[in-house]
């Protein structure tokens, strides 16, 4: 069964995020605060949404997503930040069920696409996505501004930056 998460699910979502980070060999990067996660998912300004996959009332996986916007399509889009199924529940179609449910939400909301990234070494994930008709966007390079560089750019004086470019 696939269902939208509720505020009561936040501890479970936190556990799933940590499990995903372990699978992706990125546990050292998990620094979120569970109270902030609750606020960001269910507060006045919701930054993301979560669908949960359950088997016999046990949460087995999740999809965390949020909206973006395509200026070329002139439509909202959806960005799938995380799709993860606990190892003991894999091979039962839960990942596909989560992606199907997400696609339905995207179509119902008039989205032009659903996008995500996958680690280059994650061959099972790549095969799974391609089996559903997803295609790699090899002509694009993803960039990220985070941590101290993000703070540095945010603190820049635009006028000083303009003068430095001349």
Q: Which residues are the active-site residues?
A: 129
With b for 16 or more beta-carbon neighbours within 10 A and e for fewer, the 154-166 pattern comes to eeeeeeeeeeeee
Pairing outcome for strands 75-85 and 49-55: unpaired
Class of residue 33 by CB neighbours under 10 A (exposed 0-12, middle 13-18, buried 19+): exposed
Angle CA 18–97–120, to nearest 5: 55
16 CB-side CA count, 13 A: 26
The Cα 14–Cα 154 span in angstroms is 29
**Of 75, 149, 163, the residue nearest 111 (C-alpha):** 75
């Amino acid at each position: 069964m696939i269902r939208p998460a509720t505020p009561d699910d936040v501890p479970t979502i936190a556990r799933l995020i940590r499990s995903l980070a372990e699978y992706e060999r990125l546990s050292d990067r998990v620094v979120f605060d569970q109270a902030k996660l609750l606020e960001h998912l269910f507060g006045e300004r919701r930054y993301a949404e979560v669908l949960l996959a359950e088997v016999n009332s046990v949460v087995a996986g999740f999809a965390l997503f949020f909206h973006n916007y395509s200026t070329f399509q002139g439509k909202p889009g959806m960005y799938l930040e995380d799709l993860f199924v606990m190892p003991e529940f894999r091979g039962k179609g839960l990942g596909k069920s989560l992606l199907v449910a997400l696609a339905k939400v995207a179509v119902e909301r008039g989205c032009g696409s659903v996008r995500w990234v996958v680690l280059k070494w994650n061959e099972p994930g790549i095969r799974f996505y391609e089996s559903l008709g997803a295609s790699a966007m090899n002509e694009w390079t993803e960039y990220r501004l985070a941590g101290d560089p993000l703070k540095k750019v945010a603190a820049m004086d635009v006028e000083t930056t303009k003068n430095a470019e001349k």
